[in-house]
């Protein structure tokens, strides 16, 4: 069995460390590019959302490289993501690709026994001891949290750095290096050294950069290609950015969900605007906008794939947040046809507006 | 109290149910007319631009009703059966309406099968209208006796399954009266409602996981059942542009049908009638020809590659 995962930002690093630790043969997809998306679009339903097309593209690419099993997570609605496994398996079958799937779903949907069976189908391939397996998982989670932390730190530092582009350069180098390493401990060591370098970046605390909160659909948040590298674009412009949704946050949320202790802050913050769950991460989007306002951020950029149902509801509700909390919102829908120039123009116009507002003081 | 009933989304099919329910509760009702250009334009004006046509139409009806009633019926429908939803839009509809159309008063009791379902919804609604539980029970019983609308037109030589969300099929303005158009082309329609739940469930059982959207499961099961039992000559799938549920369901159905004739018709607020007609006519011609030539496809066509003197 050669395992693969769809390309999914830093989550791919965690998967790589895990598979390395388990000593399972694997293929980690390359960074997404237009060719991958094109290949995905060719086989996907026309109106399905971009994450599905990206996922199909990356699965096809990896199956060319010899992968025969895909590890993905499932969900039980009401958003389309829950139908991904069914649809992708049918498509792969019709393409005559011999690719199996391990779908990790919540125990409430498939039963704890079935979940364990599926996890065993993965870990059973590993000849390592139980201790080594747990160690691999721990390493993977540690690497994920470090990588997310470094990325978050660099995105704030970009607004204050003295040498322009230092944070972005560091982030790129870090990414290049860790994907090259094949040992969990070495990855963690490299990440720690990156973190030290990040702290050593010279900053000017007297600067007052524009601060943007990024919110939206989870795939567009975590996979940089699905948001056309918006975070890098903001770094280039000397703008601080922060996003709530990271793979680490998602795992924590998932783990605490059965206890009802997940995202308490989020539930509180969006109760007024969006009281019930509507699927996807619409509540998180709205809550993030409300919370960021209180944290002193200047604006929210909401990003979602075209046609994303929960985010459309969030977009509608965000207009109220904009009015009542005075938090400017820019909503950007992305699909495989989004042109980069038009996209950048809209972001630039939004940033200009925020900057002008900042200089002028209060008032909309 | 005057309750406004928008003639959109589920109320198109269950109109008699909601009307009876509120009349029995002792409320007055104000029903919006059939969708028309003005209502659609209002909907497009107020609604967030990414939303699908049926949701925009609902916004239009709500805007029409705004000054004609005390509150507008817009239930928040979360769960309809165990692990079954309609779509995220139905969960967030009241929130969208409230933010999009200022000054709207909504009757947005929650319908959630995990917390009492229809009965709980009826009690909560009755409370707002000012009726007690006994009256709500009686009204609910009376309302449940009213059958939902049906949309089949039988009695023609060629029959297609007209599949799609009920609100697309019943909104004769939005779908440009597709049933009548098909009828004029000599094609009768069969609706998914004509297939029993048990028959439909048998087909959805063959999927890896039962779809968690109520209508996706129902349409998939019904359509595949109709196809397998040989009752239909083709499938017309009516879908609103950018409908997330349909983007999956249509493909699942297409996959199950193999090479069987199937056409997906997209509707949105820009749909031009001429293009719509052309597609229907072409599909109808093809079905009629298949019928007369005994469902045989030309062997020659399969062998000759395009552009190499096929004709």
Report the pLDDT value the prediction gives residue A362, as an integer from 0 to 100: 57
The C-alpha angle A4, A8, A9, rounded to 5 degrees, equals 125
User: Structure tokens of B275?
Assistant: 């293009």
Report the pLDDT value the prediction gives residue B303, as an integer from 0 to 100: 46
* pLDDT over 70 (residue A364): no
- Domain boundary among the residues A180, A205, A230 is at A205
Q: How far apart are CA A217 and CA A114, in angstroms?
A: 28
Residue of A nearest to B102 (CA): A320
Q: Is A319 on the interface with B (CB under 8 A)?
A: yes
Among B249, B190, B170, B189, smallest CA distance to B217 is for B249
Q: Is B87 on the interface with A (CB under 8 A)?
A: yes
Binning pLDDT at 50, 70 and 90, where does residue A277 land? confident
Taking contacts as CB-CB distances below 8 angstroms, the residues of chain B near A77 are: 83, 85, 212-213
In sequence order, what are the residues at sequence separation of 6 or more whose Cβ sits closer than 8 angstroms to the Cβ of residue A109?
A74, A76, B83
Same domain, A172 and A84: no
Please determine whether the domains at B2-144 and B158-295 fall in the same fold group of CATH. yes
Query: Are the Cβ atoms of A315 and B50 closer than 8 angstroms?
Result: yes
**Residues shown for chain B:** 311
Same domain, A256 and A333: yes
Report the pLDDT value the prediction gives residue A260, as an integer from 0 to 100: 73
Q: Which of B95, B100, B213 sits opposite A78 (nearest CB)?
A: B213
Domain boundaries, chain B: 2-144, 158-295
Mean pLDDT lowest for which of A141-150, A250-259, B260-269, B300-309?
B300-309
Query: Are the Cβ atoms of A83 and B248 closer than 8 angstroms?
Result: yes
Report the pLDDT value the prediction gives residue A201, as an integer from 0 to 100: 92
Q: What is the ipTM of this complex?
A: 0.88
A109-118, long-range: CB < 8 A, 24+ apart: A109/A74, A109/A76, A109/B83, A110/A74
Residue A8 near residue A223 (C-beta atoms within 8 A): yes
Same domain, A142 and A112: no
Residues facing residue A216 across a β-bridge: A303
Residue A44 near residue A53 (C-beta atoms within 8 A): yes
Question: For the residues of A108-126, what is the DSSP string, one character each?
Answer: HHH-HHHHHHHHHHHHTT-
Query: Are the Cβ atoms of B91 and A80 closer than 8 angstroms?
Result: no
Torsion, CA B280, CA B286, CA B288, CA B294, rounded to 10 = -160
Mutate to test the interface with A, among B106, B213, B240, B248 (most CBs of A within 10 A): B248
Question: Which residues 261-280 on chain B approach chain A with CB closer than 8 angstroms?
Answer: none
Q: Is A273 on the interface with B (CB under 8 A)?
A: yes
The pLDDT of A229-246, averaged and rounded, is: 93
Q: CATH second-level architecture of B2-144? A: 3-Layer(aba) Sandwich (3.40)
Q: Which of A47, A86, A309 sits opposite B88 (nearest CB)?
A: A309
Same domain, A142 and A275: no
* Domain hosting residue A60, numbered range: 3-127
Report the pLDDT value the prediction gives residue B309, as an integer from 0 to 100: 39
Q: CATH second-level architecture of B158-295? A: 3-Layer(aba) Sandwich (3.40)
Taking contacts as CB-CB distances below 8 angstroms, the residues of chain A near B51 are: 312, 316
CATH number at residue A310: 3.40.50.11900
For residues B61 and A258, the model is more confident at: B61
Report the pLDDT value the prediction gives residue A12, as an integer from 0 to 100: 92
Q: Is A86 on the interface with B (CB under 8 A)?
A: yes
Report the pLDDT value the prediction gives residue B297, as an integer from 0 to 100: 58
Residue of B nearest to A105 (CA): B209
Question: Which residues 282-301 on chain A approach chain B with CB closer than 8 angstroms?
Answer: 282
Same domain, A352 and A281: yes
Same domain, A254 and A352: yes
Size of interface A-B (CB pairs under 8 A): 122
Residue-wise pLDDT for A47-89, tens only, equals 899 999 999 999 999 999 999 999 998 877 688 888 898 899 9
Residue-wise pLDDT for B231-280, tens only, equals 899 999 999 998 989 999 999 999 899 889 999 999 988 878 999 999 99
Domain count, chain A: 3
Q: How far apart are CA B183 and CA B153, in angstroms?
A: 8
Binning pLDDT at 50, 70 and 90, where does residue A332 land? very high
Q: How far apart are CA A37 and CA A98, in angstroms?
A: 21
Residue-wise pLDDT for B174-225, tens only, equals 999 999 999 999 999 999 988 999 999 999 988 888 888 889 999 999 999 9
Binning pLDDT at 50, 70 and 90, where does residue B311 land? very low
- Domain boundary among the residues A92, A109, A127 is at A127
């Amino acid at each position: 069995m050669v395992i693969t995962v769809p390309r999914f930002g830093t989550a791919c690093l965690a998967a790589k460390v895990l598979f390395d630790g388990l000593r399972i043969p694997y293929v980690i997809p390359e960074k997404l590019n237009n060719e991958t998306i094109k290949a995905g679009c060719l086989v996907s339903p026309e109106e399905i959302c971009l994450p599905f097309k990206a996922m199909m593209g990356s699965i096809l690419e990896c199956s060319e490289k010899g992968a025969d099993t895909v590890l993905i997570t499932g969900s039980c609605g009401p958003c389309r993501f829950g139908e991904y496994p069914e649809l992708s398996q049918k498509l792969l079958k019709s393409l005559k690709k011999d690719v199996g799937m391990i779908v990790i779903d919540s125990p409430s949907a498939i039963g704890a026994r079935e979940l364990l069976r599926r996890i065993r189908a993965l870990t059973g391939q590993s000849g390592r001891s139980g201790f080594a397996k747990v160690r691999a998982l721990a390493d993977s989670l540690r690497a994920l949290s470090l990588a997310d932390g470094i990325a978050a730190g660099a995105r704030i530092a970009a607004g204050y750095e003295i040498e322009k582009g230092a944070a972005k350069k560091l982030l790129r180098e870090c990414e290049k290096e860790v994907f090259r390493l094949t040992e969990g401990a070495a990855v963690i060591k490299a990440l720690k050294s990156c973190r030290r370098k990040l702290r050593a970046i010279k900053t000017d605390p007297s600067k007052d950069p524009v601060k943007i909160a990024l919110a939206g659909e989870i795939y567009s948040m975590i996979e940089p290609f699905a948001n056309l590298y918006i975070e890098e674009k903001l770094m280039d412009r000397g703008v601080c950015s922060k996003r709530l949704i990271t793979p680490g946050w998602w795992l924590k949320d998932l783990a605490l969900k059965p206890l009802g202790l997940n995202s308490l802050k989020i539930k509180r913050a969006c109760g007024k605007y969006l009281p019930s769950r509507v699927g996807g991460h619409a509540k998180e989007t709205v809550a993030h906008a409300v919370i960021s306002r209180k944290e002193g951020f200047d604006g929210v950029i909401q990003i979602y794939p075209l046609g994303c149902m929960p985010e459309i509801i969030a977009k509608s509700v965000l207009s109220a947040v904009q009015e009542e909390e005075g938090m400017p919102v820019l909503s950007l829908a992305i699909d495989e046809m989004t042109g980069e120039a038009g996209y950048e123009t809209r972001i630039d116009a939004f940033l200009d507006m925020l900057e002008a507002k900042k200089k002028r003081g209060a008032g909309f | 109290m005057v309750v406004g009933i928008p003639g959109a989304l589920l109320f198109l099919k269950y109109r008699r149910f909601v009307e009876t329910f509120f009349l029995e509760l002792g409320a007055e009702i104000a029903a919006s007319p059939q969708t028309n250009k003005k209502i659609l334009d209002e909907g497009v004006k107020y609604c967030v631009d990414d939303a699908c046509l049926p949701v925009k139409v609902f916004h239009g009806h709500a805007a029409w009703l705004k000054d004609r009633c005390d509150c507008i019926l817009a239930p928040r429908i979360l769960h309809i059966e165990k692990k079954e939803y309609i779509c995220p839009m139905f969960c967030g509809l009241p929130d969208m309406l409230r933010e999009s159309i200022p000054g709207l008063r909504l009757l947005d009791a929650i319908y959630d099968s995990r917390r009492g379902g229809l009965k709980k919804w009826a009690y909560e609604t009755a409370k707002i209208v000012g009726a007690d539980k006994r009256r709500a029970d009686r009204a609910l019983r009376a309302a449940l006796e009213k059958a939902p609308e049906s949309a089949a037109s039988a009695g023609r030589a060629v029959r297609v399954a007209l599949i799609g969300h009920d609100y697309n099929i019943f909104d004769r303005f939005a779908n440009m009266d597709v049933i009548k158009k098909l009828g004029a082309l000599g094609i009768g329609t069969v609706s998914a409602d004509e297939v029993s739940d048990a028959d439909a469930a048998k087909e959805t059982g063959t999927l890896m996981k039962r779809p968690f959207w109520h209508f996706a499961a129902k349409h998939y099961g019904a359509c595949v059942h109709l196809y397998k039992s040989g009752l239909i000559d083709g499938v017309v799938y009516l879908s609103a542009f950018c409908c997330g549920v349909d983007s999956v369901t249509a493909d699942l159905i297409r996959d199950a049908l193999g090479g069987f004739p199937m056409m997906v018709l997209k509707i949105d607020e820009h749909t031009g009638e001429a293009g719509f007609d052309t597609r229907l006519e072409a599909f109808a011609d093809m079905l009629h020809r298949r019928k007369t030539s005994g469902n045989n496809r030309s062997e020659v066509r399969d062998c000759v590659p395009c552009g190499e003197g096929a004709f």
